[in-house]
Amino acid sequence: MIPPDDFDQLLPAFLDLPVYPPTVDLDERGRLRVRAEFGDFKGHVPYTPGEDLRFLDWSVLARTGHKMCRRFELVRHRRLSILADLSPSMRSREEGLRDLLRLFGFLGLHRLDSVELVTGDKGGTESRLFIGATDYERYRETVLGLTLDGGPPEIAPEEDRSLGRMLISDFQPEEEWRARLAQLRQQGHAVLSLFPRLPVEAGDDSTLWEGPSMLRDLQSGENLSVAMTPALYSNFLEEQEDWEMRMGALSKDLKHGFMAVDLPKAEHRADYEAWLPFLARRAETRRFTTTNPFAAS
Amino acid sequence: MDLAHLHEHLGFSRAWVLWFLLLLPVVFLLYREPSVELTTDRLGLWRRALARLPRRKRRKPPLGLILTLLMTALIVLAAAGGGRPEREGPRRFAVVVDLSPSMQYPEKGVRRLRTLLPTLEAELRAIPPWIPGRLLVLRDEEMGEMTRWKALAVGSTEVRGLPTLSAPRLGGLARLGLARRLAERSGASTAVLLYADGAGPSPWPKDPPDNLYLRAGGSAEAKNPIGFVSARVLDPWPGAELQVQLGLRQPVAKGVALLLVSQGHKAQQKIPLDEGGTELVKIDVPRAFGAEITLELEPGDGFALDESLVLKPRPAWGPTILSRPFDDKDLRVLEGYLEEELAAEVLTDEGLFATKKDRLLLMEGGELARWPTDGMPRLCFGTRLPGLSRVGALEGPVEWERGDPLLRGLELSTLRVDEGLRGQLPEGARVLARVGGQPFLLLMPERRMLWCATELGQSSLVEQAFLPLLILRSLRQLAPEGAATSLTGLLDPREADVAARPAPRSRPTPVFFRPRRPYWPEILGAFLVLLFLRFFLA
């Protein structure tokens, strides 16, 4: 068992906030959740202690003074499907990826009914299902045991359940991902693409350095030797912003969602506010965002 | 700087220290800016960002590292004693300039010596300033030193003064062999630069030593047809005229004349010389023409040094003459002759004789009780002298000293004498003639006296032709001494050959000694500049 770290201790604090893992269409289905997930009204049964208070009929209690619980014939299941890109190229943001997976899994298991973790491993796409808040520890062990030497995950056909898909990747190479997103749309899937930005990609001045640099792409094995200068860095930030704009426009056209959010720096990992940009409020409709606050400055 | 000759400009006194340059790679490893490694999945974006940069901005030279390496290399170079190595060569030089008359020959209007000056100055300019030199001149068969050892700068006073050296004083030969002796005596450490024309009797040194550098100038076609080759003056002092005999190099052309100019141009006389005439010119010059007379051939051939002479006649004597007795007719004849010949003044008043002018006393008869001490010349005829006062008959033939300068060429055989004074011959007297074995004519230079044993009237002296000449010749020794007649300025006839000869071996200016010069000031300066840049960049 991997001992809990600061981030694990931070996670319960998110339960006090009205925040959810962001998805493209889970919110819309959530509005129908009472009828869709709990089925048609079947009748009342007396309340027994320990029963889920969500089924307590408050109007009967107010009218008669008796605690009665409602019963439904059909319950619709709410599942968060997290598709994680485990390509070697994701190693540069490995730490943030594991935190994000834990955060989304934790909230998904506590706010929803189940979490499906879909990863592209060496042998192909692997899907792991976690149900209920009590399954979080297993989920955590799984996330922390992932190795980034696989590839992008393949999406299985949609099942009959309320499903929100979230795809976490670096979306590189760009052309391949554009084709993959288009194919998903043709298959009728809608996903929320989430790009976790590193500080160096967000234009954080504290990450700027000057001098000889060796840029390594672990996936392709290519290296690029450059003399890092403010001019080159500024050009890169512009390219990064253009890329995010292109991805956002593409996702909009394909009716996908796209989010590019800054990963907190190491010293801010234990601060829950630093993670709020990755989450959605219940009342909000966050389809996608391309906001890059550093580039704007 | 030519790399092939780099060793001439760079050397090290401690070359083994250069091995420390091998530490430069270590310095490179220690001080190189470490490359920051970044793992990224945005390599495509980085490439695009790099492509948008101008090519010159894509690579940033590691100036800090380069400066550090340069500073390290400079420290090693300084520690290795980097500097310009010493160069062997002559450590001194001497410039020997031929100032013989031929160097004054006009080459197209410019004196030959002056035409060599640009070459001399260019050579001086090529000599390093730390090489001391001295300037010597060859003339009058001697080598004179114009400067001591010092830096002979271009345009220095001595060099500039060369062409203005007084030409008329150059009468003698320039012995070029003296320069050779100087080179041999000085050794290889001294370069001797000989500037000459090789003209005249002193040839270029044969097989000059290695440290003798010959610099020739002048035209081999130069000619000098007009000029004096000999000069002689015959001065019958105190006679009124001098005879000058001048030898010409060759008969002069028509129109050439001899010009006599007295000092200050107070008098001038032009004597035409016959065309195709003799090579010997004889002229009589009045002593009164001037104290300094210039004799010039006019027009000349351009080379004036052998066309001009200076004649300085011995000044005329011009004494005051007193005769005793003043009314003797024979003495009067002699007075008249001397008055005209010597431009003298004849006095009759005894009182006026005490003038400051030179005096001449003519005595006939009478007696001197003691030898006079007034230094006045005396011509005494039959005057009794101490020890010569006895009168006796003089019979027999006349004998005279034919080899004596006073009597040379004179004939005394027709002299007739009846009687005369006899006695003891005075000390220091020179017997010029005897009659019957008895002294008849005595010359006493110390007592300034010409003495004859008989009076004029008691012999045929007055009728003798030798008497005036004997008296004039005697007066030359009896009169007060004065400056002798001189005829100067005659060029050595061997110097009349002004055609220059090429030097047997002309070599370029030698490569002189150059002391070692360390480069540490430059290295220190460069190091400080690099250090400043290093801190500035940091």
Domains of chain B: 3-31+57-85+517-537 (no CATH), 92-222 (3.40.50.410), 228-315+486-493 (2.60.40), 320-478 (3.40.50.880)
Residues of B in contact with A224 (CB under 8 A): 43, 46-47, 50
> What are the DSSP E strand ranges found in B371-462?
378-381, 390-393, 398-400, 419-422, 430-435, 438-444, 449-452
Q: Provide the pLDDT for residue A30.
A: 40
Query: What are the Cα distances from residue B280, in Å, to B274, B297, B309?
Result: 11, 13, 15
Residues of B in contact with A91 (CB under 8 A): 39
Q: Which of B31, B37, B42, B58 to mutate to test the interface with A (most CBs of A within 10 A)?
A: B42
Q: What is the pTM of this model?
A: 0.54
Give the nearest partner residue to B41 out of A209, A217, A227, using CB atoms.
A217
The residues near A150 (Cβ < 8 Å, ≥ 6 apart) are A86, A87, A119, A120, A121, A122
Peptide bond connecting B504 to the previous residue in cis, omega within 30 degrees of 0: no
Peptide bond connecting A199 to the previous residue in cis, omega within 30 degrees of 0: no
Q: Provide the pLDDT for residue B463.
A: 85
Residues of A in contact with B45 (CB under 8 A): 236, 239-240, 243
B49/A236 Cβ within 8 A = yes
φ and ψ of B360, to 5 deg: -135, 125
Q: Provide the pLDDT for residue B110.
A: 86
Q: Is there a contact between A86 and A169 (Cβ–Cβ < 8 Å)?
A: no
B60/A92 Cβ within 8 A = no
Q: Provide the pLDDT for residue A291.
A: 40
φ and ψ of B408, to 5 deg: -60, 125
What does each of the 297 residues of chain A score in pLDDT, given as a tens digit? 788 888 999 999 998 888 888 876 544 444 334 443 455 567 788 888 877 787 888 888 999 988 888 877 555 667 888 999 999 889 889 989 999 999 999 999 988 888 999 998 777 888 899 988 899 999 999 999 999 888 888 877 665 455 688 899 999 888 989 998 998 888 878 888 999 999 888 887 666 677 888 999 888 889 998 888 888 999 999 999 999 999 999 998 988 889 899 999 888 888 989 999 898 876 443 433 334 333 333
The residues near A144 (Cβ < 8 Å, ≥ 6 apart) are A2, A98
B38/A216 Cβ within 8 A = yes
b or e along A100-119 (b: 16 or more beta carbons within 10 Å of the residue's beta carbon)?
bbbbbbbbbbbbbbbbbbbb
Q: What number of residues does chain A have?
A: 297
Residue A99 in tokens:
């935190």
> What are the DSSP E strand ranges found in B423-483?
430-435, 438-444, 449-452
Q: Which of B28, B33, B37, B45 to mutate to test the interface with A (most CBs of A within 10 A)?
A: B45
Query: What are the Cα distances from residue B310, in Å, to B164, B231, B263?
Result: 21, 10, 10
Residue B290 in tokens:
């001037």
A211/B35 Cβ within 8 A = yes
A216/B49 Cβ within 8 A = no
The residues near A246 (Cβ < 8 Å, ≥ 6 apart) are A174
Q: Provide the pLDDT for residue B358.
A: 82
Q: Which of A97, A197, A204, A226 to mutate to test the interface with B (most CBs of B within 10 A)?
A: A226
Cβ–Cβ contact B40 with A under 8 A? yes
Q: Which of A95, A169, A232, A244 to mutate to test the interface with B (most CBs of B within 10 A)?
A: A232
B44/A218 Cβ within 8 A = no
Helices (H), B237-391: 329-341
Taking the CB of residue B334, how many other CB atoms lie within 10 A of it? 22
Residues of A in contact with B58 (CB under 8 A): 226-227, 232
Q: Write down the domain spans for chain A.
A: 6-29+76-296, 40-72
What is the ipTM score, two decimals? Answer: 0.79
**Chain A positions touching chain B (beta carbons under 8 Å):** 87, 89-92, 170, 172-174, 200-201, 209-220, 222, 224-229, 231-233, 235-236, 238-240, 243
Chain A residue nearest residue B58, CA to CA: A227
Q: To which H or E segment does residue A128 belong?
A: strand A124-131
CA angle A249, A255, A258 (to 5 degrees): 55
User: Hey, is A211 helix, strand or coil?
Assistant: strand
* Sign, Cα dihedral of B192, B193, B195, B200: positive
Q: Provide the pLDDT for residue A27.
A: 41
Chain B residue nearest residue A175, CA to CA: B44
Q: How many CB pairs (< 8 A) connect A and B?
A: 95
φ and ψ of B213, to 5 deg: -115, 120
Q: What is the DSSP letter of B354?
A: -
Amino acid at B291: A
> What are the DSSP E strand ranges found in A15-113?
19-20, 41-46, 68-72, 78-84
Q: Provide the pLDDT for residue A102.
A: 95
Distance CA B51, CA B72 (A): 36
Specify the residue for token string 């060429």. B409
A90/B52 Cβ within 8 A = no
Q: Provide the pLDDT for residue A292.
A: 36
Q: Provide the pLDDT for residue B524.
A: 94
Residues of B in contact with A207 (CB under 8 A): none
Cβ–Cβ contact B39 with A under 8 A? yes
Strand partners, B311: B293, B487
Q: What is the pLDDT of residues A215-230, one digit of tens each?
A: 998 888 899 988 888 8
Q: Nearest to residue A278, comparing CAs of A265, A295, A264? A: A264
Distance CA A115, CA A98 (A): 15
Residue A105 in tokens:
């899994």
Residues of A in contact with B42 (CB under 8 A): 170, 172, 201, 236, 240
Give the nearest partner residue to A90 out of B41, B57, B58, using CB atoms.
B41
Residue A72 in tokens:
């439904």
A231/B53 Cβ within 8 A = yes
Q: Which of B28, B31, B37, B38 to mutate to test the interface with A (most CBs of A within 10 A)?
A: B38
Nearest-CA distance from B32 to chain A in Å?
10
Distance CA B271, CA A185 (A): 138
User: Hey, is B113 helix, strand or coil?
Assistant: helix
Cβ–Cβ contact B327 with A under 8 A? no
The residues near B261 (Cβ < 8 Å, ≥ 6 apart) are B267, B268, B293, B294, B296
CA angle A38, A40, A46 (to 5 degrees): 75
Q: Is there a contact between A51 and A89 (Cβ–Cβ < 8 Å)?
A: no
Distance CA B442, CA B474 (A): 10
Give the nearest partner residue to B52 out of A214, A226, A235, using CB atoms.
A235
Exposed / middle / buried, residue A92 (Cβ in 10 Å: 0-12, 13-18, 19+):
buried
A235/B49 Cβ within 8 A = yes
Q: Is there a contact between B313 and B291 (Cβ–Cβ < 8 Å)?
A: yes
Give the nearest partner residue to A211 out of B33, B46, B49, using CB atoms.
B33
User: Hey, is A146 helix, strand or coil?
Assistant: coil
What does each of the 538 residues of chain B score in pLDDT, given as a tens digit? 567 778 888 889 899 999 999 999 998 888 877 888 888 888 999 999 999 998 887 777 778 888 989 999 999 999 999 998 898 999 999 999 988 888 888 888 888 888 888 888 888 888 888 899 998 888 878 888 777 777 777 777 777 777 766 555 555 678 888 999 999 999 999 999 999 998 888 889 888 899 999 999 888 888 888 888 889 998 888 888 889 999 888 887 777 888 888 877 677 888 888 665 678 888 888 888 888 899 998 888 888 888 889 999 888 888 888 888 888 888 888 888 888 888 888 887 666 566 667 888 999 988 888 888 888 899 999 999 888 888 888 888 889 999 998 899 899 888 888 888 888 888 889 999 998 888 999 999 888 999 999 988 888 888 888 988 899 889 888 888 777 888 888 888 788 888 898 888 888 888 999 999 999 999 999 999 999 998 887 6
A91/B50 Cβ within 8 A = no
Specify the residue for token string 């070029």. B176
